Amino acid sequence: MRLDPNPIYRKIIIPWYDSRTVCFIMIALMAAVFLFSLTGISAAHETLEYREHIWVPLLIAFMSAGVILSTVIRLIKRYAAQHKE
């Protein structure tokens, strides 16, 4: 994040794609992807022909959980920095 060039306030400039609203939208979409991957894991586990391909929905689940976790950590850090000032 860039600093405001004004030397009096020096407030952090947050780009639109890293705003709180976009972060919440991303968490919601990744939660939907995570639920979709859980459905894929269940379907692959129940069907014998698809059991060897269960790694695909597992990978999607881990990746979406990683995005959710990193976004939540980013929001927590931003919230803590705001209340620290």
pTM for the structure as a whole:
0.78
Confirm if 50 and 44 have CB atoms less than 8 A apart. yes
User: For the residues 46-67, what does the mean pLDDT come to?
Assistant: 96
Confidence of residue 69 (pLDDT cuts 50, 70, 90): very high
Spatial CB neighbours of 12, under 8 Å, sequence gap ≥ 6? 1, 2, 3, 4
Among residues 28, 12, 25, 29, which one has the least CA distance to residue 77? 12
**If pLDDT is split at 50, 70 and 90, which confidence band does 84 have?**
confident
- Give the three-state DSSP class for 3: strand
The tally of domains found in the chain comes to 1
63 in any annotated domain: yes
pLDDT band at 39 (very low <50, low <70, confident <90, very high): very high
In a domain, 67, yes or no: yes
Structure-model confidence comparison of residues 5 and 17, the more confident one: 17
Domain that holds residue 34: 16-84
Q: Is 23 inside any structural domain?
A: yes
pLDDT in tens, 26-36: 999 999 999 99
> What pLDDT sits at residue 31?
98
Measured on CA atoms in the order 66, 69, 72, 73, is the torsion positive or negative?
Answer: negative
Q: Is residue 60 part of a domain?
A: yes
* Assigned domain for 49 exists: yes
